[in-house]
Structure 1
Amino acid sequence: MPPVFDPYSSSAEEGLGMNGWLRRVGIVAAHIISLALTIFITLLSRPGTSLFSWHPVCMSVGFSLCMTEGVLLFSSEGSPFCFQSRKGRVRLHWVLQALVVIAGGTGLAFIVASKNVSERPHLTSWHGLLGMATLVATGCQALCGVCLLFPKWVNSVARLRLYHATCGLVTYLLASATLALAMCSDWFQGTIKGVLWYVCVLLPLLPALVVMNQVTNSYLPTYHRRMSRSESGNV
């Protein structure tokens, strides 16, 4: 069986590509921004006032908060879960990603119901189209993760972990772009205007950059090394 990737090893820390303090500040800022955006959108939506009001709440909780935390918890610097063991973090990752799927599915149900009631067409905006692509990618990631829970199902665990990390990054970037497009909607622009609107649009960029740096500079090179060792050992 291929060696299990340990994101807390020294090789993972050396590959982050940032100075320690800058990395720590970026991760802490990403935690704060993801939580602040979720709270802000929830307050702005006034959940319970309409069917639509639950859509931004579910999506922000799932993709802005849970998905971000599900990735950043693997960082040993600036993470509130740094006291957890590797096994504990992996379990928490699964819980958070399951919440992403549940929140995403619930948010989709609310927006479909809302548009059906108001007799409005579906998937007529870039936000809707990109959001659907994000949900499909999230579902595929969940299936990939289930396979990792049962390594006997797959021929190469190391390769599947590499695909999981790569596709996970793509899914997160899709979610970030969908969130930015949501702030270009008539609903959001009708309430938030001026400088605050520009701030809201730019804020999701920092967590996206932190996650992209963490995955591309730490996980992917390590996965490549582990996979190469595993394949050379099987020759």
Structure 2
Amino acid sequence: MHIIFCVLGYQFFMCQGILVLSKYNSWSFFIKRQYRLQFHWMFQALALIFIITGTIIMIIEMNQNFNTAHGILALCALILSTLSVLNGFVVQNAKKLSTSVNTIIFIKITHYLTGIATLFCAAASLCYGFDKRSFRVWIGNDAAIHALMAITWVFTISVSLNFWITSMSRLQHLL
């Protein structure tokens, strides 16, 4: 259950939450920006619920946690995703908090960077999870594991590129 919750949280809901903001995303390009922002919040909230649930499941099942590369990166991803969500609340109120364009840009860039750092930490943690002995035994094929790792990184980099394109165009509108 840990795997299902965390993979769905990070790799599906979080990624869709990032992609929905892009006007180039195939399923959301026709949706008005205000609704894409609402979808973004819904996907990110679902992602955090799934991630926390998956983490709690693993903490309950194991005596030792966060002592491997997989666990440490997962903890970093959890902390970053929580910071990103909290910072998202600040972004929503940025114009109320400051009239300075520089401050608003700083707040938004911080949100963007914590979000994308979360995505990369989660992908690295997932790849270390693929490398765990129990997963290797279950799959039984090193080529399949390497393929899963490659797919994870291609997907993560693709979402990241889409994120950077969208973010840079949004920041240009602020300037």
Give the TM-score normalised by the residue count of structure 2. Answer: 0.88
Aligned: 1:57 with 2:4? yes
1:184, 1:154 → 2: CA distance? Answer: 46
Aligned: 1:153 with 2:101? no
2:136 alignment partner in structure 1? 189
Q: Which has the higher contact order (CA 8 A, sep 6+)?
A: 1
Unaligned runs of 5+ in 1: 1-53, 230-235
Q: Is the 8 A contact 1:127 1:178 kept in 2?
A: yes
Distance 1:140 1:78, change over 3 A: closer
- Among residues 147, 151, 164, which one is paired with 1:203 in the alignment? 151
Task: State how many pairs are aligned.
Answer: 170
Q: Bigger radius of gyration, 1 or 2?
A: 1
Give the TM-score normalised by the residue count of structure 1. Answer: 0.67
3-state secondary structure, aligned to 1:77: coil
Q: Is the 8 A contact 1:158 1:226 kept in 2?
A: no
Range moving further from structure 2, 144-153 or 100-109: 144-153
Question: Equivalent residues in 2 for 1:192-231 (5 A)?
Answer: 192=139, 193-220=141-168, 222-223=170-171, 225-227=172-174, 229=175
> Percent identity of the aligned residues?
20
1:199-220 C-alpha deviation (Å, 9 max, x unpaired): 1111111121112212334413
Give the AA of the match of 2:7: S
Range moving further from structure 2, 152-161 or 86-95: 152-161
Unaligned runs of 5+ in 2: none
1:136-182 C-alpha deviation (Å, 9 max, x unpaired): 00110011001122232356323211221122111111111111111
- Among residues 58, 66, 80, which one is paired with 1:123 in the alignment? 66
Quick check: which one's helix share is greater? 2
2:31 alignment partner in structure 1? 84
Q: Is the 8 A contact 1:165 1:220 kept in 2?
A: no
